[in-house]
Amino acid sequence: MKMPSCLIVQDEKITKYLLVYQPKSDKSGYLALAGYNLDNWELLKNDIIKAVEGSEIAKVTLTDWGTQFEVRSEWSGPNGRLIKVITIWQEDEGTEFVRFITLKPDRLQES
């Protein structure tokens, strides 16, 4: 099963969560390794969508709120460094859009 093309990534997920240091489960440090920061947050948003659209879904989980999808992907950041991530998406009950939930480093694919 492949990811659809109706993907939504809310700006706030990037600018107030992924690229801002979090004391627990921080992602900003990993993304900074590839050159992502608040100055180029729109690039990260576009790169996530480009990497995931049409990709194979690794895992599907049914929840009380909808269906969650896990996708493994990789792409080169603005500084050329390759990052490998797992993104989590959700199609809420009663909608046809799939929204971005979070991402995390894909430690299984790292060499």
Question: Which pLDDT tens digit goes with each residue over 33-91?
Answer: 999 999 999 999 999 999 999 999 999 999 998 999 999 999 999 999 999 999 999 99
Residue 39, domain member (yes or no): yes
Q: Which strands form 98-105's sheet, in the order they lie side by side?
A: 7-8, 98-105, 82-92, 66-76, 59-62
pLDDT band at 96 (very low <50, low <70, confident <90, very high): confident
- Residue 32 in this model has a pLDDT that exceeds 60: yes
Tell me whether residue 45 is in a domain.
yes
Does 111 reside within a domain? no
48 alpha carbon, distance to own chain's centre: 5
Q: Per-residue pLDDT for 111 more than 50? A: no
Residue 54 belongs to a domain? yes
Q: Average pLDDT in the 21-41 region? A: 97
Whole-number Å distance between alpha carbons of 57 and 76: 20
Number of folded domains that form the chain? 1
Distance of CA 35 to the CA centre of its chain: 16
Would 80 be classed as within a structural domain?
yes
Question: Where in the sequence is the domain holding 86, given as residue range(s)?
Answer: 7-105
pLDDT of residue 61: 97
* pTM reported for the whole predicted model: 0.92
Amino acid letter for position 31: L
Please give the Cα distance from 54 to 67 (Å, whole number).
17
